[in-house]
Amino acid sequence: MKVDVDVGTTEGASPGPDAGTRAGAGPDASAVDAYLRRLGVERPARPTADALRELHLRHLRTVPFENLSVHLAEEITLDGKRLMDKVVRGRRGGFCYELNGAFGTLLTALGYEVTLLAARVYGDGGRPGIPYDHLALRVRTPDGDDLLADVGFGAHCLLPLAFGERGDQEDPGGTFRITGAAPDVVGAPGGRDAVPLADLDVLRDGKRVYRLEQRPRALGDFVAGAWWHSTSPQSHFTRSLVCSRVTEDGGRITLSGRRVTTTTADGEREERELGTDGEVLAYYRDRFGIHLARVPTVRDPHRAG
């Protein structure tokens, strides 16, 4: 598995609020229009908070969270325009770096001010994951709105969260809260300490989801995280297959190997197994719009290439 990048990092730079997406010329108008057609939305007249909410929800319903490239030995390139091409022309999804990378590129082209933020996902025992474990988006509008967008986390908020709000935020996906983080496991200060750009915790239904840094990042900064998640035997992405999206009624459908899980908006789950390769390929095609030549299988992360 090769992970590549076509943009610079923030190393040695003095990043401004748009540093997370500064990478030369953006996508042309036809690419933006094609992306919007895939989402089934019109081009917003202005980059407003309401327009962002619609784009965010339509993205979750249309573009699947999936790790098929990891197991199909496909190259993952962290470049905004190439990620957009994968979503639009390839009719594919991806994991956080790809989905939020593409979405951030789209939002920037639509006039939003986008900053890429790094996060570490909390695992068992409450320990945060590796650096650059996750990519999220801070999105500002000309009207002064400051929002946290994330279309690359699987089951999470369906709508952007108010970045500066420290109380509960109700969302169709649960009750969310952004709060100052405590010092981490090695004592680095969090948002509960009076330090600039201190880390924040994002919680869902009272449980910590990820620890969010506030320092602006560039897409190229996430190469190491994407490589680790694509190759390490310790990464859950190398140990299993997933393809998942939100349904129109607020539920979720997920295909993991041959197992289909349907979750309703109120949390009821139903599981079933698909029998033949033809059924699996048809499910990818009919429910996710993904056309594959063969059924993906979990790839041995110890195998080179």
What confidence tens digit (pLDDT) does each residue in 282-295 have?
Answer: 999 999 999 999 99
Rounded mean pLDDT of 132-158? 97
If residue 97 lies in a helix (H) or strand (E), which one and from where to where? helix 96-109
Residue-range domain boundaries for the chain = 3-223
Work out the pLDDT band at 227, boundaries 50, 70, 90.
Answer: very high
pTM above 0.75, yes or no: yes
Q: What is the CATH number of domain 3-223?
A: 3.30.2140.20
Of 150, 199, 201, 221, which is the active-site residue? 150
CA distances from 19 to 46, 117, 181, 235, 304 (A): 22, 10, 24, 28, 35
Is 266 noted as a catalytic residue in this protein?
A: no
Is 236 noted as a catalytic residue in this protein?
A: no
Is 96 noted as a catalytic residue in this protein?
A: yes
Whether residue 11 has pLDDT greater than 60 = no
Of 56, 71, 79, 96, which is the active-site residue? 96
Whether residue 7 has pLDDT greater than 60 = no
Contact 66, 242 (CB under 8 A): yes
Work out the pLDDT band at 84, boundaries 50, 70, 90.
Answer: very high
Of 56, 71, 134, 156, which is the active-site residue? 134
**Which residue in 195, 168, 194 sits closest to 179, CA to CA?**
168
